[in-house]
Amino acid sequence: MKKAALLLLPNLIAEHKHHAPYLPASVDKAVLSLDGLIAENPHAGRRYLKRFMELRDADSVPIAICNKHSGKEDIDFLLEPVVEGQRWGFVSDGGLPCMADPGAQLVFRARQLGVAVQAFSGPSSITLSLMLSGFSAQSFCFHGYLPKEQQARQSHIRQLEEHAQQTTQIFIEAPHRNAHLLEDLLETLSPKTWLCVTWDLTLASQGVVTQPVEVWRKTPLPSIQKKPATFLISAAT
């Protein structure tokens, strides 16, 4: 008998034809066991299922929606079939559920309802960029998105720089604002602070630049606009 559970499924962090090089085999088995899939939107959910099964089978799996607009009553509704004994997956648009993505509300409520939760590993731009940066990951803080308003953002950057004396600081930006954030960072940070920028992780176009701000200021900037990117700062001494 299949065990009722909410399965937290990894997604790719870039467009790839085949998923096998990036997702472990346990995910294949898990997806084939699902009674339904919760996704951030119906098209992405259907596309995800088609990676693992024939078109006809993928079309027969019910899809429900959970995203940043979902409220508490939506969460209870989404978990109802699991409470009643079914296996449902949750997948975000890219990377790991919950990690700078929706999902935590689902898991939090599932725990209160005594529903089993299983998590699978997969690519995360947070861990990949920490590894690739060369900065210490003995401790680190992930901040998600910085404030949009420039003055608030610059003062936030100065705070992060202070914390970076001890602990690697990592944050992200909406891809269409990447160039602005990079400009602000180079304007605001001290010359000796180390800045790492990664983009297009897991794609052939992937890039990582790790250097002190004073070197960043003297070299041509990489073209990161509209590309998924991460930003890391460290004292790196």
Using CB under 8 A as the criterion, which residues of the chain lie in contact with a second copy when the complex forms?
Answer: 8, 20-26, 29, 96-100, 103-104, 107-111, 117, 119, 121-124, 126-128, 130-144, 167, 208, 210, 236
Sheet of 36-39, strand order: 63-65, 36-39, 87-91, 5-9, 117-119
Residue carrying structure tokens 């009674």: 35
- For residue 167, what are its two tokens? 């602990």
- For residue 222, what are its two tokens? 């990489």
Query: In terms of CB distance, is 60 or 166 closer to a second copy?
Result: 166
Answer for the pair 95, 16: CB distance below 8 angstroms, yes or no: no
Tell me how far apart the terminal alpha carbons of the chain are, to the nearest angstrom. 56
Report which DSSP code applies to 68: T
Beta carbon of residue 56, minimum distance to a second copy (angstroms, whole number)? 26
Beta carbon of residue 206, minimum distance to a second copy (angstroms, whole number)? 9
Query: In terms of CB distance, is 20 or 55 closer to a second copy?
Result: 20
Beta carbon of residue 114, minimum distance to a second copy (angstroms, whole number)? 11
How far is the C-alpha of 33 from the C-alpha of 2, rounded, in Å?
Answer: 8
Query: In terms of CB distance, is 12 or 182 closer to a second copy?
Result: 12
Cβ contacts of residue 75 below 8 Å, gap of 6+? 66, 105, 106, 109
Query: In terms of CB distance, is 109 or 225 closer to a second copy?
Result: 109
Query: In terms of CB distance, is 132 or 229 closer to a second copy?
Result: 132
- For residue 78, what are its two tokens? 């989404």
What's the burial of 114, exposed, middle or buried (CB within 10 Å: 0-12/13-18/19+)? Answer: exposed
Beta carbon of residue 208, minimum distance to a second copy (angstroms, whole number)? 7
Query: In terms of CB distance, is 19 or 225 closer to a second copy?
Result: 19
- For residue 160, what are its two tokens? 């992060």
Query: In terms of CB distance, is 207 or 225 closer to a second copy?
Result: 207
Answer for the pair 105, 78: CB distance below 8 angstroms, yes or no: no
How far is the C-alpha of 122 from the C-alpha of 129, rounded, in Å?
Answer: 14
